[in-house]
Each structure stands twice: as C-alpha cells, then as structure tokens.
Structure 1
Amino acid sequence: MKLDPVSLRLFVSVVEEGTIAAAAKREHIAAAAVSKRLSELEELLDSRLLTRTNKGITPTDAGLSLLFMARSALNNLNEIVVQMRDYSHGRRGSVQVLANVSAITQFMPGLIQSFMALYPLITVSLEEQQSLAITKAVAENRADIGIFTRLPHGADIEVFPFRTDRLVVLVPSGHPLSGRESVSFSETLAHDHVTLRSGTHLNFQLIKAANDLGRSLKIRMEVSSYDALCLMVQAGVGVGIMPEGSVAIYKLNGARAVNLSDDWASRELSVCVRSRQGLSSAALLFLDHILAPPLVPPVAAE
C-alpha cells in the first residue's frame, strides 16, 4: 500500500467533521469505505492516528502532526492543478520576444506594461536584435515573436503590420541646419553623420539612400544605441538620423530634431512569428495584445 491523496483527504475530513459518518457524507462515500481507509492509513504509517470515543473522533499527537502535513500536501497538489490550468489557458507561461532598437525605444515599454497588468503570471523576455537577425531567429524557432523594421527577407515567417515611425534629423545647436523646419536627406550629405553601427537596418537604409543619389554618406562615428547617438550629436560630432518617437524620450538641451522630407523617412514596423497556429497560449495572448489597435485618447469637449 502507498500513501495516496484520497486517504489523506478522508483523514482530514474525519478530523474536521469529528465523526466518520459526517466525513462520509461530506466526501460522498460510504462510511465503511472511510473506516477501511483510515485503518489502512494507520497500518501504513504504523501509528495510531485517531482516538474513537462515544463523543466522536479526535486526533492523537501523531494524528495532529499528520493533519498539518496532509493539509499542506493536499494544498500543494491542488496548486499543481491550478497552475497547469493557468498554462493551458495562457494565464501563466513565458514569451520570448526579439525587437529592434526602434521598436524597443518607441513602443514596447507601454505595451509590455499593459500586458503584464492583464497577465501578471506571464513572463516576457525582451531582447534587442537587428531586424534581419530577428526574422532569422523567429524562422529558426529561437524566439516566439519578432518586431522589426519592414525589409526584404528570405525567412519562412508570418508577418503582420505593427506601427509606423518617421525619421528625423538630429542636429547640434548652432549647426547650419538647426534653424530649418525640414530638410531633405541630400542636404544632410554635406555634413558629417553619427549613425548606428554597421549591420543595423537604419545604417543600411541611410547608405542605400545616399547611393541612390549617387553620393556617399560621411560617417564620422558609429554608435550602438540611440542614447549614444544623441550624446554625440549634442557634443557636435555630427548630425544623426533616428526615429522621431525615439528622440522624444531623451532630454536634448544641445540639439534639436528637424523633419526629414524624403518619402522613405516614413517606415513600417512589423511583427513576425514562425506560425501563429504554433504559438503557445501565452505567446498568442501577447501577439494579440501588441497587434490590437492603439488606444486613441478621447478629445476633450470644448
């Protein structure tokens, strides 16, 4: 005979109810079956667990000790069921997300905050990667969801529209372009540039745009993040091109953003998965959350 949850539950019921008859009624089982289970339990544990009197049943010292352990064990078993059901319904789990720097700085903090408020038992792992690396990793099932700047790729993935952003030119105070409301990309090519490192989509985009004009991009410095780009521009190293939404999160006392007038300055960010049908419940909840239309603040009545 092995210790089983049914015997423990019946034992707890007998102690709590005070009689076998009351415990049998509570558990919807015959009184004789309850009595047999208790006898077998005492035999298995080689301990007298209950004292039977005309007034009912009371636990022995060994029985009291077992009562506390049995309640804890039954609670743990019930918690297993609850947590497994949470996984099956997507209320518990983990999601691996890759995103490029533009998505992370502009959109992901608010989306992750609102998602975690709805699903506090789901863990979101967010890692920054370059756009091409993101599509490749998702296709190879090394991440659940990817968010990247839309570009040609050969990955076998499903792609969904996410957000749009617009590039602006960040210029130091006192720079020849700092007094302008908008400039074309060709006008910036006469000046030194601070860009994201080689291999990023934005770096590629700027070099391609310069080549299309038959010009070259004068890269004075490459950096690994938008905050470093802003610092270098403020220090007067050169001008920088970055998303307007990313500029807004930095305090720029020594620089200002100027609109970039070229059509390609408006960019599409996309979400990709290997297969929507193959996502876990938790990952599918996250996907639906970030693809939902953004809330528009209500217009105040005049």
Structure 2
Amino acid sequence: MALNFHQLHIFYTVAEKGSFSHAAQALHMTQPAVTMQVQSLEDYFGAKLFHRSTKKIELSEAGRSLLPYAKRSIELMKETDINMSKFTHMLEGRLHLGASMTVGEYILPRLLGPFGKEYPNISVSMKVINTRLILDEVLNHQLNFGLVEAEIDHPDVHIEAVMKDELVLIVPRDHPLAQSPSVTMEEVLKYPFVLREQGSGTRRVMEEELARAGFDSTDMKIVMELGSTGAVKSAVEAGLGISILSQSSLKHETALGVLAIKPIEGIRFSRSFYAIYLNSTILPISAVTFVTFLRERDLSQWM
C-alpha cells in the first residue's frame, strides 16, 4: 500500500475536528469510511495515530508527529491547484457557489460571461443569499465556498479578498441634497434612511465605517429595512428615504439620472469582496479556477 494524499487529508480533518463523526460530516463521507481510511494509514505506518475512548479522541505521539506534514501536504495541494488553474482552459465541471446579494445580483453577472468565454466547459450554479446565511451554509457544509461583502472572523473559515468595491450615499434626483457637490454626515443624518437588512455585508460595512468616523448608526432615522439592493434602490427612487449602497449596483440608475451619488466629506466606504470556505476543504479545481480568475484579472474592464 502506498501513502496517499486522500488519507492524509482525512487524518488532518479528524485531528482538527477532534471527532470522527464531525470529520465525516466535513468531508461528506460516512463515519465508517473515515475510520477505515485512518486505520489504513495506521497500518501503513505501523503506529496508532489516535488514542480513542468513548468520550473523545486524542492524537498519539505518532499522530502529533504526522500532523504538521499532513498540514503541509494540504497547503501544497492548494498551491498546486492555484498554480495549475491558469492552464485549465479545457477543464470540464460544474461550479456551485453562494454569493451575497450585491455580488450575486450586480457583480458576478458581468463577470460570468468573460469567465465562460475563457472556460467554456465549466457550468455555473449560483445561490444568492445574504452574507450571514452564506457563512451558515459554508459552516454546515451546504456550500463549498461563497463570495461575500464583509470580512468574516471565524476560526474554521479561510477568507481571501478577491475584488474591491466602494459604498456610496444615494439620493433621489429631486432630494434637497441632490444639488450639493458633497455633504457632511451631520447633514445626512437629518434625513430618513432606507437600508439593507441586518446580516447583509453592505449594512455591516456601512455601520463599521461610520463607527470608525465617530458616528453611531443608531442615530440614523431608519424608516425601512429591505432584503435586496434592488428593493432599496426602488424605495430611494420613490422618495421614501436615502441610502448607502455599492457603487457597482448603481450603473443604470445613475446613467438614467433617477439617483444621484453624493460624496460624504471625510468618510469613504471602501471594502473588498471575499471568497470564503472551510479551512479543512480542498476546493474543486473549478472553484479554484474561478477564484484565481477573480483575483488575477483586471475586472474593471467588465464592470
């Protein structure tokens, strides 16, 4: 029997999760299959890698010695996939991902065409939900990876910035602020706001940047919270309030003149869009290829 990467990955996941059942869930395998692969690895080395009891498992001395090599092998495999994704133009497969609302509704539709021309044999399936739900589905193994609008701090999740974006203040064309070249936050707080719902990346980035600038988002006169960027834009256009949204989502409305973008003096809502997936996950090569495309192409030509 030869040593193989699959077994090292399973061993590392069991060690990281501290449980055969949790590792099986993360790897989309049955628990007996995980146990069998670990036993095969133990047979290969002729040493027990875990001390098992009814309540918990612990790494043996041999297991602790193997762990850093298993981790390095996983890191090397990920690096290999990233490097080779540049050459996989004839790659076939299905790319299934989750995208937060702004990314899924306004950013990716402009990029999937160029991606499809470069990689014509990869089909794409995209689930559009808010950032918090994407994190939940990644953690629960319902999604392999997602693209989200706000940075996430979770010990089990790898996060990587892949695109840049900026939030801007928008007002209807007949609003009192529409003719001002720029406005102050003190002026802005006098007016009612229509915002994205709590849990959205857009809302979180806005609140964090306001806090850094010394403003409390609870001072905003929020008259409506809506679950999509399109709904917020429609409400602002109808005169129900003003808002702060991704500039990437405003191309048509600003071209038509129905919404105006107003710079806020001393505040800039710069952000990144992030790819997220579990640390224990080895992404399919189709997903690695897509993330590499986002990271290394000049996306501005399509935005």
- Which 5+ residue runs of structure 1 have no aligned equivalent? 1-87, 298-302
The answer (yes or no) to whether the contact 1:89–1:281 under 8 Å persists in 2 is: no
Deviations 1:224-243 (A, max 9, x none): 22222222112111111111
Structure 2: how far apart are the matches of 1:149 and 1:132? 10
The answer (yes or no) to whether the contact 1:146–1:272 under 8 Å persists in 2 is: yes
Structure 1: how far apart are the matches of 2:145 and 2:90? 16
Structure 1: how far apart are the matches of 2:187 and 2:155? 36
Structure 2: how far apart are the matches of 1:276 and 1:120? 29
Match of 1:260 among 239, 261, 264: 264
| Structure ranking higher on relative contact order (CA contacts 8 Å, 6+ apart) | 2
Structure 1: how far apart are the matches of 2:101 and 2:265? 22
Give the match for residue 109 of structure 1.
109
The answer (yes or no) to whether the contact 1:210–1:217 under 8 Å persists in 2 is: no
Give the match for residue 238 of structure 2.
235
Deviations 1:214-254 (A, max 9, x none): 45111112222222222211211111111112111335443
Structure 2: how far apart are the matches of 1:153 and 1:91? 33
Normalised TM-score (structure 1): 0.61
Structure 1: how far apart are the matches of 2:193 and 2:283? 42
Q: Percent identity?
A: 23
Give the match for residue 288 of structure 1.
292
Give the match for residue 47 of structure 1.
none
Shift of 1:202: 2.5
- The change in CA–CA distance for 1:90 and 1:158 in structure 2 (over 3 A counts) is farther
Give the match for residue 269 of structure 1.
273
Deviations 1:121-167 (A, max 9, x none): 32211111222322332233322221112334225122221122111
Deviations 1:186-236 (A, max 9, x none): 431110011112322323444556675245111112222222222211211
Give the match for residue 224 of structure 1.
227
- The change in CA–CA distance for 1:122 and 1:266 in structure 2 (over 3 A counts) is same
Structure with greater Cα Rg: 1
Moved more, 238-247 or 253-262: 253-262
Give the match for residue 182 of structure 1.
182
Is the counterpart of residue 91 in structure 1 residue 91 in structure 2? yes
What letter matches 1:289 in structure 2? F
Normalised TM-score (structure 2): 0.61
Q: How does 1:27-46 map to 2 (within 5 A)?
A: none
Is the counterpart of residue 153 in structure 1 residue 158 in structure 2? no
- The change in CA–CA distance for 1:295 and 1:196 in structure 2 (over 3 A counts) is closer
Compute the RMSD of aligned alpha carbons. 2.8
The answer (yes or no) to whether the contact 1:186–1:213 under 8 Å persists in 2 is: no
Q: How does 1:128-143 map to 2 (within 5 A)?
A: 128-143=128-143
Shift of 1:284: 2.0
- Which 5+ residue runs of structure 2 have no aligned equivalent? 1-87
Shift of 1:277: 6.7
